[in-house]
Amino acid sequence: MPRPISARIHLEAISHNLSRARAHSPGSKVWAVVKANAYGHGIRHVYPALDNADGFALLDLDEAALLRELGWKGPILLLEGVFEPSDIAFCEAHDIWHTIHNEAQLRWMESRHTSHLHKVFLKLNGGMNRLGFKPELYAAAWERLQALPHVGGITPMMHFSDADGSRFGQSGIAYQMEVFAKVAGPLGVKAGTLSNSAAILRHGAELAPLSEWVRAGIMLYGGSPDYPEHAPEHWDLQPGMTLSSQLIAIQDIQTGDTVGYGSTFVAERPMRIGVVACGYADGYPRHAPTGTPILVDGVRTRTVGRVSMDMLTVDLSGIPQAMPGSTVTLWGDFHAPDGEVRRLPIDDVALPCGTVSYELMCALARRVPVSVD
């Protein structure tokens, strides 16, 4: 028997989450963001759940090629654009749309001669200061692209830094919406692509008139972009992945006994400890502190002590029926024998670990077998 750990990808949940993105973005087309191998879920696995998206957005050229291999004929967008001039030929060969966010990419396009019509997304640096042209340089970049006979369409693109919260006491999108309006107005364009999951869910109605496209990422996989303010349930999102394993050993320990490396957990009373076949080499965060939530046979309990490479340890107080072979849910859904579903949202695990659901999903290790339901 293989090690008992496995991940299940829930296709119905992912298509449901896509429908939530649509419901919050009336009149907009939806990019399903599948970068980082679909946030760790596997592009191959999630493709059937997302093939009624309007397009796929990602970063890696080989992931774009994989989507074509899987039969996707619709739009694909490279969110960071091309990385070297020869990538432009790749975009032509596979009909891939690409972002232009810097001067180098603009020059590569200017020196390309082709009969292929490129669809490009010109990125505005709306204040996040990662990618894009500053507002005062944007119109010039736009005009240079427009002058190229092999550019068949330009869509403005921006990314919000604070859509999941506020910015200096204001709405998290107000400042950047103003920047966008100032830049887009004189160019005679009304709409582009601005929203990530947080903007879609929190500001969908307000942004709809500016959104030809929205870019849904984390919400497709069931993570809440503004947790803990809102749990996935608040947004009617369902987990796209369940990571589960089993207890492989049980230790009865006495008051004063310790558990795991560094003896960071000291028992204050006699207790039962369960040993789970899951460690940081599976992608579970090593910095999960004592107290991180976890389900054993569907009962919510806590981790104790340090996470090691292949194992972690849990408190079995109050779960007398737990034994080696009991199912452990690291995150996602546990289906009880009575048909009830006990859910541990991935955000509940990420928070005590000082991270976000994104990082946990993306960290799922290659050695964990993945199946689809």
Active-site positions read: 35, 261
Q: Is 215 in the site for ligand PLP (CB under 6 A)?
A: yes
Q: What is the rounded CA–CA span in Å between residue 349 and residue 224?
A: 12
In contact, 193 and 157? CB cutoff 8 Å: yes
Bridge-based pairing of strands 271-276 and 312-315 is antiparallel
Distance CA(14)–CA(93), nearest Å, equals: 30
Half-sphere exposure for 150 (CA within 13 Å, toward CB): 17
For residue 155, the cross-strand partners are 121
Q: How far is the CB of 107 from ligand PLP (least distance, A)?
A: 22
Decide: is 288 part of the binding site for ligand PLP (CB under 6 A).
no
State the helix-helix crossing angle for 11-24 and 43-50, rounded to 10 degrees. Answer: 50
Residue among 30 and 145 whose Cβ is closer to ligand PLP? 30
Q: Which of 77, 86, 82 is nearest to 102 (CA)?
A: 82
* Ordered alpha helix ranges (H), the chain: 11-24, 35-39, 43-50, 61-69, 86-94, 103-110, 135-146, 174-187, 197-207, 346-350, 357-362
CA–CA dist 282, 315 (Å, integer): 20
Q: Is 300 annotated as a binding residue?
A: no
Range in contact with ligand PLP (rule: CB under 6 A) among 147-155, 194-202, 257-265, 308-316: 194-202
Instruction: Select from 83-91, 132-140, 212-220, 320-328 the region that touches ligand PLP (CB under 6 A).
Output: 212-220
Q: Which of 22, 94, 41 is nearest to 364 (CA)?
A: 41
130 labeled binding residue: yes
The answer to whether the beta carbons of residues 279 and 48 sit under 8 Å apart is: no
Q: Name the closest residue to ligand PLP (Cβ).
A: 217
Q: Pick the piece of the chain touching ligand PLP (CB under 6 A) from 105-113, 193-201, 294-302, 323-331.
A: 193-201
Which part of the chain contacts ligand PLP (CB under 6 A), choosing from 148-156, 209-217, 251-259, 261-269? Answer: 209-217
* Residue 33 touches ligand PLP, criterion: CB under 6 A: yes
Give me the 78-107 binding string for ligand PLP, x by CB under 6 A, dash otherwise. -x----------------------------
Q: How many residues bind ligand PLP (CB under 6 A)?
A: 12
Which CB sits closer to ligand PLP, 217 or 293? 217
Query: Binding string to ligand PLP for residues 226 to 265, with x set by CB under 6 A, is what?
Result: ----------------------------------------
Residue 124 has what DSSP assignment? B
Q: Interface with ligand PLP includes 35 (CB under 6 A)?
A: yes
Scan residues 313-372 and list those touching ligand PLP (CB under 6 A).
Answer: none
Q: Does 217 bind ligand PLP (CB under 6 A)?
A: yes
For ligand PLP, the closer of residues 38 and 294 by Cβ is: 38
Contact 275/313 with Cβ under 8 angstroms?
Answer: yes
Is 197 an interacting residue with respect to ligand PLP (CB under 6 A)?
yes
Kindly state whether residue 159 participates in binding ligand PLP, applying the rule CB under 6 A.
Answer: yes
**Should residue 145 be labelled a site residue for ligand PLP when binding is judged by CB under 6 A?**
no
196 binds ligand PLP (CB under 6 A): yes
Phi-psi region of 363 (alpha: psi -120 to 50; beta: other; left: phi over 0): alpha
Residue 172 in the binding site for ligand PLP (CB under 6 A): no
Q: Is 22 in the site for ligand PLP (CB under 6 A)?
A: no
Q: Give the integer Cα–Cα distance in Å for 130 and 277.
A: 39
Give me 44's structure tokens.
């191959």
**How far is residue 180's CA from residue 155's CA, in Å, rounded to a whole number?**
13
Among 156, 222, 225, 279, binds ligand PLP (CB under 6 A): 225
Cα dihedral 367, 355, 219, 76, rounded to 10, equals -60
- The amino acid at 15: S
The residue among 217 and 298 lying less far from ligand PLP, judged by its C-beta, is 217
Residues within the annotated binding site for substrate?
130, 309
Which residues of the shown chain bind ligand PLP in the complex (CB under 6 A)? 33, 35, 79, 159, 196-198, 215-218, 225
Residues within the annotated binding site?
130, 309
